[in-house]
Chains A and B, each alone.
Chain A
């Protein structure tokens, strides 16, 4: 019994220690000095985490918008309120689905790749050799990836929303025959730029920071063996998903839950 408690205590201490290391890690790497060189490194990572994630995010967005319209229509038509379809699709996308689903996809596509890439650099001693050459790998390797993720995910989220709303339009208006004007007019009447669009973007920025942070830290902190890399990659996806969903609840409560 006492041994169990002891083990629990040790786990807690280890967890806190890791959290502290992750905090110092974030602080040290986020102040990468912007330079011409740094700009190029950032651009390269933007390509890697942003442009290459675009396809999966947009396709998912299209399908989610279409499903929302289909499901929403069957419910709304019972109340004779199918003209509110645009409002339903837009609000659920902007407030919840876009930031959350885009962040989850991003964690799976870009986050795991970042962890594996940095982990591999660690395993092949590239990080150590960089340090021996006198270059801080936190600035050179981690910082560009961190900032690229921070910028890329909100942009991907915007793309997700736009494509989802268009998908809802295709299903609702073109297929199910909701009146075109009321789809947009109801949407415009109920969506508020500050409350809905901007709040969704704020969520997305928070998720971007957290997911990229987890990904690069897991890569930097892993045990440099093939087993260590595969475990860290899994951890990135699991932790990111849990943290995104948990934070989403907290942020939603703060933004829309009347706690203001």
Chain B
């Protein structure tokens, strides 16, 4: 395995309508490590993953995966590249018309010509890895949120990808399934040597597993470093985010005119 980073994001610009979401983001994701991308809600973290996966096209800048510019690839080459990536969606995004087993077997069926017995072996192995081999006959609608996310994880790793993208893996989970997911992500990374990008705003869990962290705010990389260096960062914005303080440089209030003037102006209509 070479030492060059697997994913390089260079000077990425992206806007949706009038709103500028990224104004020159640079990231460097090393192989075999867990890299976390953190930031307050609404900073376009999911958008970043979609840009890396080639589903959105940036206004300027490049995303290089293993040296290939994702947005310059043909549709066919892009689909081929995506076979080497797995993505875990916030909602799990299991196919609602297939049961758990078929969901995990789906990538195998479409991308390989393996005989049915082998598909079965691989699918059961992946389900075993997330501890849900016994749930293979259930339909997605019968699963709890945490279980659905674990099945989705099994599906994402079915083809043994090199890179796996996690979109908010911890959101809306009870403490137990949160712990299970943290464990799983860590273990998968160690056992399979996967490169992982975790997008999240759950600070404690993310810092516990990440090797390197980028903090994004206002469309730019605000800070980056290992979890240890970030914890003692001097920048007040970083420390506000990392320590979860309600008010600070990132204001609690949505921009508005002065409260007193607003109250007194009541008579003159809104």
Contacts and interface: CB of A to CB of B under 8 A. Distances in A.
B87 A129 contact: yes
Nearest to B95: A126
Contact of B110 (A125, A129, A132, A133): A133
Contacts, number: 47
A230 interface: no
Contact of A133 (B80, B82, B90, B96): B82
Interface in B93-110: 93-96, 106-107, 109-110
Interface string B40-53: 00000000001001
Nearest to B50: A128
Contacts of A190: none
A134 B93 contact: no
B265 to A, nearest CB: 28
A248 interface: no
Interface string A71-101: 0000000000000000000000000000000
B90 A125 contact: yes
Most buried by B among A37, A130, A135: A135
Interface string B230-266: 0000000000000000000000000000000000000
B95 A132 contact: no
A17 interface: no
A128 B110 contact: no
A126 B55 CA distance: 14
Contacts of B89: 125, 128-129
B55 A131 contact: yes
Given A121-B96, A124-B96, A126-B96, A134 B91 contact: no
Interface string A114-140: 000000110011101111111110000
B145 to A, nearest CB: 12
Contact of A134 (B50, B94, B111): B111
Tell me the interface secondary structure of chain B in the complex. mixed
Contacts of B36: none
A70 B187 CA distance: 75
Contacts of A128: 50, 55, 89, 93
A210 B50 CA distance: 32
Interface string B138-154: 00000000000000100
Given A128-B93, A129-B93, A134 B87 contact: no
Most buried by B among A37, A124, A129: A129
A124 B110 contact: no
Contacts of A129: 87, 89, 93, 152
B83 interface: yes
A134 B82 CA distance: 6
A219 to B, nearest CB: 14
Interface string B211-238: 0000000000000000000000000000
Interface of B: 50, 53, 55, 79-80, 82-83, 85-87, 89-91, 93-96, 106-107, 109-111, 152, 155
